[in-house]
């Protein structure tokens, strides 16, 4: 059976295109599988990097912290930012120990520990440091528990504070305005007008 050369050429081109599409599809599927396998590992690596940075920051603060002599057990919470190059800023006291001298010592520890390492993400970080002083362990020596405990938490991207602020402001404004509009204005106007009109009409007809 003789086949027209033009038809044979078209068939060859079609077969070549189909084969190329199959190769592209197989390559894309393989890439998707590789990305799916790598993504959890990358996320775990990022989490480990952040945790290591927090631990290193806590160690630096602990080395620079000198609670006042005779200070009672206390818990202090401070917050600050760390720029990508490790410089510190925005230092503030979030929770006082109840002792001004202890609070100042905690703030000085953050200042003396700065600059910190370059941030693990390469971006600005907002962190919170909880500093606990337990004087009962101060004589434990090298092998005993440490009287100072510092825990650093990365707050970058956290929305808890934002949600709390919004929920604290919005309900008050809405409830005050709505209640004032609905209860204070509307009933008085409608009841006064309606009662006046109704009583006047009814008495006039009678």
Q: Per-domain residue ranges for the chain?
A: 47-159
User: Which pLDDT does position 62 carry in this prediction?
Assistant: 95
Task: Give the Å distances, CA to CA, from 46 to 34, 112, 122.
Answer: 18, 28, 12
pTM (two decimals): 0.55
Matching CATH number, 47-159, of 3.30.1450, 3.30.70, 2.30.29, 3.30.1150: 3.30.1150
Q: Taking all residues of the chain, what is their mean pLDDT, rounded to a whole number?
A: 73
Give pLDDT tens digits for 128-187: 999 999 988 876 655 667 899 999 999 886 543 332 223 333 334 444 444 444 444 444
Provide the token pair at 106.
């905690």
Q: Are 85 and 115 in contact (CB under 8 A)?
A: yes
Give residue-wise pLDDT tens across range 176-199: 444 444 444 444 444 444 544 444
Percent of the chain at pLDDT > 90 equals 40
Burial of 178 (0-12, 13-18, 19+ CB in 10 A): exposed
Q: Could you tell me how many residues make up the chain? A: 206
């Amino acid at each position: 059976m003789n086949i027209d050369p033009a038809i044979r050429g078209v068939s060859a081109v079609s077969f070549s295109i189909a084969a190329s599409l199959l190769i592209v599809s197989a390559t894309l599927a393989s890439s998707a599988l590789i990305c799916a396998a790598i993504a959890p590992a990358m996320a775990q690596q990022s989490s480990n990097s952040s945790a290591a940075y927090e631990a290193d920051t806590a160690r630096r603060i602990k080395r620079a912290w000198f609670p006042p002599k005779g200070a009672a057990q206390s818990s202090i919470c401070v917050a600050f930012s760390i720029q990508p190059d490790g410089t510190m800023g925005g230092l503030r006291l979030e929770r006082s120990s109840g002792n001004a001298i202890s609070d100042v010592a905690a703030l000085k520890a953050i200042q003396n520990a700065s600059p910190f390492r370059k941030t693990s993400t390469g971006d600005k970080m907002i962190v919170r440091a909880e500093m606990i002083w337990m004087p009962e362990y101060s004589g434990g020596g090298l092998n005993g528990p440490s009287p100072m405990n510092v825990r650093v938490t990365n707050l970058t991207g956290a929305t808890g504070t934002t949600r709390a602020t919004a929920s604290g402001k919005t309900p008050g404004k809405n409830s005050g305005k709505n209640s004032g509009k609905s209860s204070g204005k509307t009933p008085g106007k409608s009841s006064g007008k309606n009662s006046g009109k109704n009583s006047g009409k009814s008495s006039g007809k009678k």
